[in-house]
Amino acid sequence: MSPWTKGAAGSVGAALWIILVYGLPLAFKATKGEVIWTATKQTVLGLIGVLVFALLLGGAAPFLVDATSFKEALAEGLGWQGVFGQIMKFPSGGGDGGG
């Protein structure tokens, strides 16, 4: 699988994660009229920044775990928080204050 395909599959997985975790609950609230949002320049740019950041991390996740198929890359992009969470964990007894 080419690096472009691997990265794109990871980004698609991250996009699915965004839709499932944030999009669907927000859509349900919006149908009930519970969402009040005004699109200002600051809020739109902030939202775009968060989306780009999530898509980049999702696209990078398959490279970290060396996904070999499209399905693996998609799954790793979907679970990019877990991939990066495992890499960033401090060892037991480290300087993070945890035990």
Convert the pLDDT of each residue in 79-93 to its tens digit.
Answer: 888 887 777 766 665
Q: List the domain range (segments joined by +) for residue 11.
A: 3-83
The answer to whether residue 88 is domain-embedded is no
53 found inside a domain = yes
Give the count of domains, the chain: 1
The reply to whether 69 falls in a domain is yes
Q: Average pLDDT in the 54-61 region?
A: 92
Q: Is residue 96 part of a domain?
A: no
- Residue with the bigger pLDDT between 2 and 98: it is 2
**Cβ-based neighbours of 70, under 8 Å, separated by 6 or more:** 1, 5, 9
Whether 58 contacts 14, CB under 8 Å: yes
Tokens of 61: 């996740």
The answer to whether position 98 is within a domain reads no
Above 70 in pLDDT, residue 48?
yes
In a domain, 47, yes or no: yes
